[in-house]
């Protein structure tokens, strides 16, 4: 089902100095199934993190935020699947802390130096005892096993690596894993992304970079517009590559590292869309020449989220009216619809408030028959731009979401 | 397919003094099919109108707005189906005016005294000549025939009447018709609503009332969240019931008339949801005890628009997690999720940030099995409230929207 998405092998994924990867089996939902993942970090690393903006955020999100604020250095990330520990109140928070305490005891650090992540059913108590027992029996693995262990409804594990020069004399290696196949349902919907690199970056600068990268990757995808209670994205810099610390955003290495890690995050985020429920096409909606990034994103999201546009892509129907209507209702009050232009890949389809003069339905049909399509909207208002990635909307979306309890 | 929605007969719908109703056949899309509707108004009436906020608004919307601004009294509303005259540029505007001119000549008024409305395919030139020819051959009919003539993909004609005391000694009669079955696709997506009553209301006061009524009816429904290029809602007051004019909103008759016409508009708007594509359930999302109406609507819409919530309703699945997650991401920044309460009909399902203690899945299941369901969300933040009406999201939604060109 996934659109042009394939599993990576252990050899495709770089080992990162300063990180050890473990998985284990707590049997939260299924027996004989890896459902606990632990990333153990060396000292002197830094961590950037962004979390769901959902007001119903889960206990592990609250706990991770609190631990990040208190901790003198994060030493481990622990992830369980099968139970999201969301909508679980005070007990949920206690359970999240208990899991962190077990990890801390195991590796020899403080409870606050462990960040917990959970994904799975919500509104059910976390089986913390099972997870704690599993933590004592983890086994070292490669990244590809970790990518598999954090899956819930994903059909393909999501992982990628990058290596590149940052500064004139040092390379940075980075590996990331992610899970999510759209907001499938709050029972197993969470989007998690973890990237680890061996660069040296001060904490405030890494936090800034994490936010900027999230904005162009995990915050630029939509399967159905719903956002989960547990979404989290973390970048760890282990400072093991021997270069001096990047401690301000004016350092030219900031941009280089951001591009390297950003490209990795984009691949992971796009993998989530490619594995979107029932997805048969991968769609990029690109808005250019906007007055500002805000309006560019607003219009890109209106098009990318429209059920009508998405069902037209499923049907390979070059339905310009649906795209124009979505642009029109995006909420940009002073938009001059007579000036903007719309392309499907390289075909100009709309201008001057209607269908482009030279456009033929055959041209549109040829683009729509592809499994990767770019909708480009030129607003002629300024220099800002935004890209949003989405997938089409199929029978299978309804089937998966309507039938999962049966 | 429509949920508890049945066609009204001529006898169910009140004649309104000061309005004559005609239909005719222009053959825009289908032969032997009423596709032009004309409401001819007497003198001394007043008109309130609200139009789509879509920036790609259609030529008839622009023309109707301009005519309302210029006219000394509206004398006719003319509606065609089969072609929306949208995305048609300068020629589209000329075509809309040409149709108005033909009606004006026919009934003896100025072109600016005619308001045009179109619904049907977009991005195609309006066949104005055919419509103009039909205008010369219209036949007088009852309201039920007009309700049928303005249908596009609707499966049931939508019409209703009300009669009630406004002030101590005069009754008001009102009849309305509407079309729309969700934003099916911009080709035939438009929501049109026309209400005619025999009350006497000054123009600015009627405009204010029209906006308030739209807010609680046509602007409180969502099928898929998409809004069309042609949406229009008009209230005509013919001033034929013999009472003195309502010329300020402090007049106690303002509230009485607003309730009468509001109830009629709600019935018509709900009929559009009941006839939503593939709808099998009618859902009311009610938010109460909000700090203000804005946030109440914001949360009600987030729940009503969520594809995950809507597929859960289709599946009769009391999936509390999806509802809670939608409340959480609605964008109310300081929402305390620990304080709010959620009901499915009379069953308290969530409180204190999670599942209600006494709630059982059987209770939820019993409510979800119904074809009319109310989700009630008490925010405990203030006195404001909002209701939004929607339907579930079924296989048929995807089928209808993916297949209509095949």
Q: What is the pLDDT of residues B241-261, one digit of tens each?
A: 999 999 999 999 999 999 999
Q: Would you say residue B35 has pLDDT above 70?
A: yes
Q: Would you say residue B365 has pLDDT above 90?
A: yes
Q: Looking at the annotation, which residues of A are catalytic?
A: 190
Q: Would you say residue B156 has pLDDT above 70?
A: yes
pLDDT band at A405 (very low <50, low <70, confident <90, very high): very low
CB–CB of B185 and A397 under 8 A?
no
Q: Which of B89, B122, B325 sits opposite A56 (nearest CB)?
A: B325
CB–CB of B325 and A224 under 8 A?
no
- State the smallest CA–CA distance between residue B261 and chain A in angstroms: 27
Pick the closest to residue B326 from B343, B315, B310, B345 (CA basis): B310
Residues 262-301 (B) with a CB less than 8 A from some CB of A:
none
Residues 15-44 (A) with a CB less than 8 A from some CB of B:
none
- State the smallest CA–CA distance between residue B101 and chain A in angstroms: 25
What is the pLDDT, as a whole number, of residue A89?
Answer: 85
Tens-place pLDDT, residues A155-178:
999 999 999 999 999 999 999 999
Find the mean pLDDT for residues B143-148: 98
Pick the closest to residue A366 from A379, A349, A389 (CA basis): A349
Range of weakest confidence among A78-92, A108-122, A315-329:
A315-329
Chain B hits for A86, CB-CB cut-off 8 Å, are 321
Chain B hits for A393, CB-CB cut-off 8 Å, are 398
What is the pLDDT, as a whole number, of residue B322?
Answer: 84
What is the pLDDT, as a whole number, of residue A84?
Answer: 92
Range of weakest confidence among A207-216, B21-30, B380-389, B396-405:
B396-405
Find the mean pLDDT for residues A37-66: 94
What is the pLDDT, as a whole number, of residue B185?
Answer: 36
Contact call for residues A379 and A328 (beta carbons, < 8 A): no
- State the smallest CA–CA distance between residue A47 and chain B in angstroms: 25
CB–CB of B401 and A226 under 8 A?
no
What is the pLDDT, as a whole number, of residue B1?
Answer: 66
Is A401 marked within a binding site? yes
Strands A192-197, A232-237: pairing kind: parallel
Q: Would you say residue B358 has pLDDT above 80?
A: yes
Q: Would you say residue A150 has pLDDT above 80?
A: yes
Is B401 marked within a binding site? yes
Q: Which residues, at least 6 apart from B173, have a Cβ–Cβ distance to it below 8 Å?
A: B14, B15, B16, B17, B161, B162, B163, B197, B198, B241
Contact call for residues B275 and B392 (beta carbons, < 8 A): no
If DSSP codes are grouped into helix, strand and coil, which group holds residue A324?
A: helix
Is A219 marked within a binding site? no
- For the question of residue B390 being annotated catalytic, the response is no
What is the pLDDT, as a whole number, of residue A406?
Answer: 29
Q: Which of B225, B305, B393 sits opposite A398 (nearest CB)?
A: B393
Find the mean pLDDT for residues A216-232: 80
CB–CB of A123 and B186 under 8 A?
no
Q: Would you say residue B186 has pLDDT above 50?
A: no
If DSSP codes are grouped into helix, strand and coil, which group holds residue B122?
A: coil
Q: How far is CA A232 from the centre of its chain?
A: 8
Give the dihedral of Cα atoms A81, A84, A89, A92; nearest 10 deg: 10
Q: Which CATH class is domain B10-274?
A: alpha beta
- Which residue is closest to A224 within chain B, CA to CA? B307
- Sign of the alpha-carbon torsion through A304, A305, A311, A317: negative
pLDDT band at A329 (very low <50, low <70, confident <90, very high): confident
Please indicate whether residue A170 or residue A53 has the higher confidence score (pLDDT). Answer: A170
Residues 57-86 (A) with a CB less than 8 A from some CB of B:
57, 86
Residues 114-133 (A) with a CB less than 8 A from some CB of B:
121-123
- Measured at the alpha carbon of residue A84, what is the angle toward residues B328 and A162, in degrees to the nearest 5? 95
Q: Among residues B52, B63, B175, B190, which one is catalytic?
A: B190
Q: Would you say residue B225 has pLDDT above 90?
A: no
Find the mean pLDDT for residues A112-140: 95
- Sign of the alpha-carbon torsion through B367, A403, B186, B226: positive
pLDDT band at B403 (very low <50, low <70, confident <90, very high): low
Chain B hits for A312, CB-CB cut-off 8 Å, are 185, 401-402
Task: Tell whether ipTM is more than 0.90.
Answer: no
Is A227 marked within a binding site? no
Among A59-73, A276-290, B7-21, top mean pLDDT goes to B7-21
Is B155 marked within a binding site? no
Residue whose tokens read 């807010």 = B215
pLDDT band at A290 (very low <50, low <70, confident <90, very high): very high
Tens-place pLDDT, residues A101-116:
999 999 999 999 999 9
In whole numbers, what is the pLDDT of chain B averaged over residues? 91
Residue whose tokens read 């001394």 = B44
What is the pLDDT, as a whole number, of residue A288?
Answer: 98
Q: Which of B228, B312, B329 sits opposite A325 (nearest CB)?
A: B228
CB–CB of A353 and B56 under 8 A?
yes
Q: What tokens does B372 get?
A: 């009319």
Q: Would you say residue B378 has pLDDT above 50?
A: yes
Q: Would you say residue B151 has pLDDT above 70?
A: yes
What is the pLDDT, as a whole number, of residue A185?
Answer: 36
B317 reaches A (C-beta below 8 A)? yes
In whole numbers, what is the pLDDT of chain A averaged over residues? 91
Chain A hits for B316, CB-CB cut-off 8 Å, are none
Q: Which of A305, A306, A352 sits opposite B89 (nearest CB)?
A: A352
- State the smallest CA–CA distance between residue A214 and chain B in angstroms: 17
CB burial of residue A227 (10 Å; 0-12, 13-18, 19+): buried
What is the distance between the alpha carbons of residues A230 and A219, in angstroms, rounded to a whole number? Answer: 14
Tens-place pLDDT, residues B319-349:
888 899 889 989 898 999 889 999 999 999 9
Pick the closest to residue B406 from A364, A368, A317 (CA basis): A317
Find the mean pLDDT for residues A288-308: 92
What is the distance in angstroms between the CA of the first residue and the CA of the last residue of chain B? 21
CB–CB of B325 and A353 under 8 A?
no
- Which residue is closest to A125 within chain B, CA to CA? B354
Chain B hits for A307, CB-CB cut-off 8 Å, are 224-226, 307, 397, 401
Is A179 marked within a binding site? yes
What is the pLDDT, as a whole number, of residue A402?
Answer: 63
pLDDT band at B240 (very low <50, low <70, confident <90, very high): very high
Tens-place pLDDT, residues A334-390:
999 889 999 999 999 999 888 898 999 899 999 999 999 999 999 999 999 999 999
- Which residue is closest to B56 within chain A, CA to CA? A328
Q: Which of B89, B311, B352 sits opposite A89 (nearest CB)?
A: B352
Find the mean pLDDT for residues A1-30: 94
Fold of the CATH domain A282-403: Ubiquitin-like (UB roll) (3.10.20)
The residue extents of the domains of chain A are: 10-274, 282-403
What is the pLDDT, as a whole number, of residue A105?
Answer: 97
Contact call for residues A396 and A314 (beta carbons, < 8 A): no
What is the pLDDT, as a whole number, of residue A1?
Answer: 66
Chain A hits for B326, CB-CB cut-off 8 Å, are 226
CB–CB of A185 and B315 under 8 A?
no
What is the pLDDT, as a whole number, of residue A225?
Answer: 59
């Amino acid at each position: 089902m996934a659109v042009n998405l394939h599993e990576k092998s252990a050899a495709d994924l770089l080992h990162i100095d300063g990180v050890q990867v473990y998985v284990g089996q707590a049997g939260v939902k299924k027996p004989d199934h890896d459902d606990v993942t632990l990333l153990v970090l060396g000292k002197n690393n830094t961590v950037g993190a962004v979390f769901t903006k959902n007001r119903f955020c889960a206990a592990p999100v609250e706990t991770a935020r609190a631990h990040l604020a208190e901790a003198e250095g994060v030493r481990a990330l622990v992830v369980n699947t099968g139970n999201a520990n969301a909508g679980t109140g005070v007990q949920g928070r206690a359970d999240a802390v208990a899991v962190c305490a077990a990890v801390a005891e195991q590796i020899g650090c403080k409870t606050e130096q462990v960040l917990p992540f959970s994904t799975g059913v919500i509104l059910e108590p976390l089986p913390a005892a099972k997870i704690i027992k599993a933590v004592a029996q983890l086994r070292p693995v490669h990244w590809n096993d970790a990518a598999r262990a954090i899956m819930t409804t994903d059909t393909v594990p999501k992982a990628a690596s990058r290596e590149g020069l940052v500064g004139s004399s040092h390379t940075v290696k980075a590996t990331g894993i992610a899970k999510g196949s759209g907001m499938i349902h709050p029972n197993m919907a969470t989007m998690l992304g973890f990237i680890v690199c061996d660069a040296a970056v001060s904490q405030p600068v890494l936090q800034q970079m994490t936010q900027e990268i999230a904005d162009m990757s995990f915050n630029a995808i939509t399967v159905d517009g719903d956002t989960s209670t547990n979404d989290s994205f973390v970048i760890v810099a282990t400072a093991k590559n021997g270069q001096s610390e990047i401690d301000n955003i004016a350092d030219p290495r900031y941009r280089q590292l951001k591009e390297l890690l950003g490209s990795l995050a984009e691949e992971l985020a796009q993998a989530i869309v490619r594995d979107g429920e029932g997805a048969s096409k991968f769609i990029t909606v690109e808005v250019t020449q906007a007055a500002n990034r805000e309006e560019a994103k607003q219009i890109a999201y209106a098009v990318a989220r429209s059920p009508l546009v998405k069902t037209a892509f499923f049907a390979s129907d070059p339905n310009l009216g649906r795209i124009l209507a979505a642009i029109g209702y995006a909420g940009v009050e002073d938009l001059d619809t007579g000036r903007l232009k719309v392309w499907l890949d390289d075909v100009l389809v709309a201008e001057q408030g209607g269908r482009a003069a030279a456009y033929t339905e055959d041209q549109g049909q040829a683009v729509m028959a592809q499994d990767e399509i770019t909708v480009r909207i030129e607003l002629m208002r300024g220099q800002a731009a935004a890209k949003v990635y989405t997938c089409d909307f199929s029978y299978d979306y309804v089937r998966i979401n309507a039938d999962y309890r049966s």
